[in-house]
Amino acid sequence: MSVCTGIERFNHQHFIQFLNIHTMKKILLHSVILLTLIFSIAGCDFVNNVNPPVDPSSTTTGSVVYRNVLVEDYTGHKCGNCPAAATQLKALEAQYPGKVIPLAVHAGFFAQTNITYPTDFQTSVGDAYDLQFGNSSAGNPNGLVNRVGYGTGSFIRQWSSWSSEVAQQLQRPAIFNIKIHNTFNTATSELNTDITVKSLAYNTGTYKLVVLLTEDSLVAEQLDYSKPSGQQTVLNYEFNHVLRAAVNSTWGDAVFATAANINDSVVKTYHNFPVNPSYRPGKCHVVAYIYDASATSPTYYEVLEANEEKVK
């Protein structure tokens, strides 16, 4: 073997080793870059999903509890446009199950009876609400959505705006929680209801709890302008969520005599409430809501939480 041949073989072997080492370094470098990109992309996806969009139909999102919405439909059987409002309210119930608390208040001129419309759904509590808030004088159909905006021009809401207003209210965190437990004595036709109100925040102010009785599936006469001429008096119209009575009082009972801390709770008990024998307990609900009862508060009369539960 010549000296040159040995040197050439030596250099050739080192050159091959050098290429292998260089190639491995490039592969490692590219692998590190690729893994970095993968983890970066995965990291971005994780960050984007930390706060997912709020689903208003959910009671909670994470640790935040969102409030329910009381929708008061001021109506009457002589109001030909009122069936459209009732249809809208039914749609909102279906869209946000368990979150929209419906209440149909029959009051004012359109709820008064005559020969054609003899069924009387008026109540003293409904008349008091209508007198205080002025709904029937504003022209039915209209209503209140959590009674937001009392004292302002936008307080009374036309039914066509209920959907957007409900969606906004469902995005607001709840500061109270209401649970209802009912028992009904069939023998005496008496209702027992226990209402638990829990504070979900530090709340100062004056708050009152109102407990109402409603009834569904009532069939009676109703004027309906959506029907053809000559058929607009519907004799078998179905009424739902009809306000029947106040279980405690029109404007309620005070809760939390002093400031309420987080998780403070109070139980209000209403036993032996006589239910009219003509009412069907299986079609009735107890509706309970807590509202701001401070006349000096900027949210006076606003409903801060509401709930409903079947009587039986």
Q: In terms of residue numbers, what domain contains 284?
A: 64-310
Q: Which residues pair with 49 in a beta bridge?
A: none
Is 163 domain-assigned? yes
pLDDT band (50, 70, 90) for residue 258: confident
Is the pLDDT at 63 greater than 90? The verdict is no
- Report the CATH number that the domain containing residue 283 is assigned in CATH: 2.60.40.10
Is 12 domain-assigned? no
State residue 116's pLDDT score: 97
Model confidence pLDDT, tens digit, residues 44-62? 332 233 333 333 334 444 5
Is 3 domain-assigned? no
Model confidence pLDDT, tens digit, residues 130-172? 999 999 999 999 999 999 999 998 899 999 999 999 999 999 9
State residue 29's pLDDT score: 45
Is 42 domain-assigned? no
How is the chain split among helix, strand and coil, in percent rounded to 5? 30, 35, 40
State residue 291's pLDDT score: 98
- Percentage of the chain beyond pLDDT 90 is 78
Burial class of residue 72 in the structure, from the number of CB atoms within 10 Å of its CB (0-12 exposed, 13-18 middle, 19+ buried): buried
Give the whole-angstrom CA distance, residue 288 versus residue 277. 22
Model confidence pLDDT, tens digit, residues 109-136? 999 999 999 999 999 999 999 999 999 9
Cβ contacts of 255 within 8 Å, gap of 6 or more: 197, 207, 208, 209, 266, 268, 290
How many folded domains does the chain comprise?
A: 1
Is 10 domain-assigned? no
Is 30 domain-assigned? no
**Helix ranges (DSSP H) in the chain:** 3-48, 82-95, 124-133, 162-169
Q: State the angle between helix axes of 82-95 and 162-169 in degrees (0 to 180), rounded to the nearest 10.
A: 30
In this structure, the strands spanning 69-75 and 100-106 are parallel
Is 6 domain-assigned? no
In this structure, the strands spanning 190-199 and 242-246 are unpaired
Is 8 domain-assigned? no
